[in-house]
Structure 1
Amino acid sequence: MEPCGPLGSGGPGPGARPPHRVVVLALDGVYPFELGIPNRVFPGVPGAYEVVTCAATEDRTVATSADFTITVGHGPEALEGADTVVIPPYALHRATADLPGPERAALARIRPGTRIVSICTGAFALAAAGLLDGRPATTHWALAPAFRRMYPRVALDADVLFVDDGDILTSAGAASGLDVCLHLVRSDHGSAVANQVARQCVVPPWREGGQAQYIEQPVPPEGTNGTAATQAWALQHLDRPLALRELAAHARMSPRTFARRFQDETGTSPGRWLIQQRLHRARHLLETSDLPVDRIATEIGFATGASLRQHLHAAIGVSPQTYRTTFRGHPGPPTPP
């Protein structure tokens, strides 16, 4: 078994839906590491996805950012049958305010309504094609000033790991490609499946900050009066109200100092962080237990089932019952021996 490849064998059974077709568009100057991410993540759900790689030109030869050139399996016609298109990053010196003709023509082959995902500088290609005008997006934080100068009509947020704007998702640099691909698996098949895929890839299923995906600042080492120990304590006591004053007392800080340091270390407020952690726990319980919604709300610290329903709908747009119906009992990838 490959350490981060398909878990299990066999495709969809008779009468099953065909696999979701993911087409990876390799542009000249592509970064090899990120180019391979979709082919490592999506096959982790057996039979659910088909992943192919294409070039923007018919000769299918692509120069990489490294000292080698690759020949991919498909030309730009593959984009016409895609359900999801992923554009990995490419060398920034190739990025211009306008797209070269072959690349623009390749993107024009994508059907309306197709889900499009960029990793790092891949957002430059989407912006140059006008696909991000008036929309939120992200890219590598170090490239944010250049991106804003080139594409002022894009609502760039350089503080997040990825932005999910429905049919277009953009992610930050390098390993954030794993974050956004695992997010897609989680959206398509639930957190239990995404967690299994992440485990096989030996990466965390999500980064601190939950669904908001805020980039986590380095946690101060023990003894430097950081909030990491209080975060760990709070996760063990989510069934309690956990007011700011109580969290600050555990950290031996004033509430004002604790709130400021917590924001610096996690990128979000204590209250928002608690909601994110409670919703993550709620989704896990909805997928793996028969507990009523009101009982789940009590176990994770929401005052009522109505409060849980409100927060879950605000976060992912569905009710607890709809979420449970969608994801409960999904077999997921088998655990390897």
Structure 2
Amino acid sequence: MAEILRMRNPIQHYAWGSREVLARLQGRAVPSPEPEAELWVGAHPGAPSVLLRDGRDEPLEDLPFLLKILAIDAPLSIQVHPSPAQAVAGYEREQRAGIPLDDPRRNYKDPSAKPETVVALTGVELLTGVQPADRLRSTAERLGLDWLRAVADGGRPVLPEVLTLDDDDAGAAVAATVAAARTAATDDPVAALVRHVHDRHPGDRGLLVALCMHHVFLAPGQSLHTPAGQLHAYLCGTAIEVMSSSDNVLRAGLTGKHVDVPELLAVLADEQAAPDVVDPPADEHGRRSYPLWDERLSLSAHELGPGRTVPVELRGTTVLLGTGDRALVRAAGREWELGGGESLLHRGGPSAVELSGAGRVFTVSCR
């Protein structure tokens, strides 16, 4: 027997979050009292969603994915996530070493990988992978960066060279890069990136890593998957993210948190490929479907509009998340309003559902 329950979802207050995006989406006063970075829909033990059943709160205890709305107002840390085998090995190693889970030096908080897929709601800027040597060489010549020229001409993998610079050389390289960006042409995209990152993270040596990465612009509706071992960082924009419920992050810069360079290099994939942006077409019902890392999971965006009723068949465990104006969900003679940032949980099934109203509804299902 199927059931549909309303959810209440927590917001994470990280420094890089917006004071407007989530508040405006949920119809609250703007600006919010503190930065609001992520709305979480899931059973993560650190901030689980709550199910509303017969006027009572019921903690959500089991969901095989974590769905988020990201409200990015400043660059996030440059990071990489381990593979399943690396996560298990790292977690067990740190357990044997007796490192407490809340120790800031801890790299592995759980024995799980952390694949993630993002879908842009607005334009989203991000960094991913590493540019080929010829492009880095071109940037070095245009901006007059001796440190980048040496890295590009060294014939060795770029990231180990940049990440293992000693503090004095890294500091000098950051200063030279910022100075070059300030005198470069105003329309130079690399110089603009440097200025943006430096304004938010002044003096951080992660700037050197950022300069070596692919700078990607996602249009609304476009998607990007980040596999294990891929270096990445979000810069700005609003997006949906689907990921596994893990906290395993190895950082490479743009952060005040622990940076473990040897472990980061051990986790990095040898191939730091150019991004593969996914831009699926809409079907006759305005539905766009996005591939996820696990064939048991599915992600769809349902575009609503005046006079349109969108049929959806829900099977198993499914989250429905509204990201715009109010939508109406009808199933088995019942109706639910779904506002921006509001969600429903479906269990059981199959259930024939009709969506109508305005805005966009995302569904994430697990078979």
Band of TM-score, shorter chain: under 0.3
Q: Which has the higher helix share?
A: 1
Higher relative contact order (CA 8 A, sep 6+): 2
